[in-house]
Structure 1
């Protein structure tokens, strides 16, 4: 029987940091060569990554000719935490099988939110379906979003001409982007007159598909980067939108481009768009007070019509 390495108290942990340079972290992440000597044999058999709220991800350590890497399970951790270029990660190792991970912005401030709703224990070593962890915590960013303005459902009108985008015409992307609050706001604030005008424009939108309207707030575009879907809208369209844990939604813009966005079902029975939403709003240059009309054009597929509060950027 192999004796397990003793877990060290936090004050005795070894640490290393990594900067997320473009193209060098999405599939695997190299552990500094001089740090490898601290890693126990047990960690090569089974290891976990622990985030700042205590959720765990199974990870596989792999040795190659050019170094030791966090491999299987690492891409899931990157996606679930929306890790982007030039984020700064600090790893604390307990001497046994667990790596604690702290994530920092480029401005050296620690991230104050995460997107994960449950642990993924076993995901790196099993091809089976994942089951929802009933005891898991809903992340703060998603939990707080349930208190935000949920949006407004629009009635279904007699259809006007609408061509649903074809999947083969676009390249679906959830490519991570650099995440800093300071680079998001690129225009002056909208006036009350402009806000009233853009709402009137958005409310005049008609479609044969079910749709809802959302006036974007600080939480949607500057702070927590999440968007809540109205409860009544989800209830009315359960067959095409309802999930009891997590699903992937495709958002199309009117130019035929698409983004994959994670849809979470929270403990407060809210449906929230989270990981991937930032990439969509950045690519489409969305700002506070802009209004989006979401059309449910297929199962977990929505086309987004954008009404800008400030026309010039």
Structure 2
């Protein structure tokens, strides 16, 4: 068997995780000793999967019924992502899952996995098709973030949600590699200095995987950024706006940025057009291409990676997009982007040839 070149192997891995639809991705687990309390998700899957695994997810059993399970970080396993004891034990009990059972998880979109369960015989567990417990579909599942607010008697938690701009209302289309070459994409890596790169080089680097060098951020810091965006959203303004939390696939790889569908249908020009993005207190602006897909998704594509890199956007930062003008004749719009960072100190990203 001929040995593949290193770049070919990297490219194949990149295309698998970034160009294939998320609904093509699966993982399996052989149930370990402590499987009935919590279950670690494979590290490679949680790191490479282009949909963010956090908050709540839905597990759809063989019966078609749904179980609500919290996804959290395991403190004793180097921050590994896992199905926690908030929901997972019920799923195990209701399906009769046993030690060393082989369980597959196939992503089906909207933070949901279709689950199949196999016993030691190599066949599916019959009883799993007749599990009767589950939950009735709820709105806003997993889209709220706990905000800590203080009062005279101490601290309490309340739910903060960008319900009006619910990200479950849309799904990003698969990322298409629009570069004019493949192997040359991998020739540069290291510290990013986007202002020193040529236009063609920036376009190629935008196809790569970027790694954050920012320090670890806390839940409290994430909540503060959300609170600032919420406060901005409540301001009186004559311009339509929407807040959105930056995901890995918006700012580190793929650069799939889709405007919330309900908002886009109401406010955006319904044709391909250019958007001038402005950032307060900055003289320069960025012309970004906007397009509508066949599934009626409004996406920022051309030059969006440059906007991200030159403004040092990172995962969990919250941006408020405010549409201040649009011109049907000239096919142009202007949006001011207010950036609420989780960490104020900006540290350049690293461009890596590690795709997985």
Give TM-score, length-normalised by structure 1. 0.44
Higher helix share: 2
Higher strand share: 2
Give TM-score, length-normalised by structure 2. 0.39
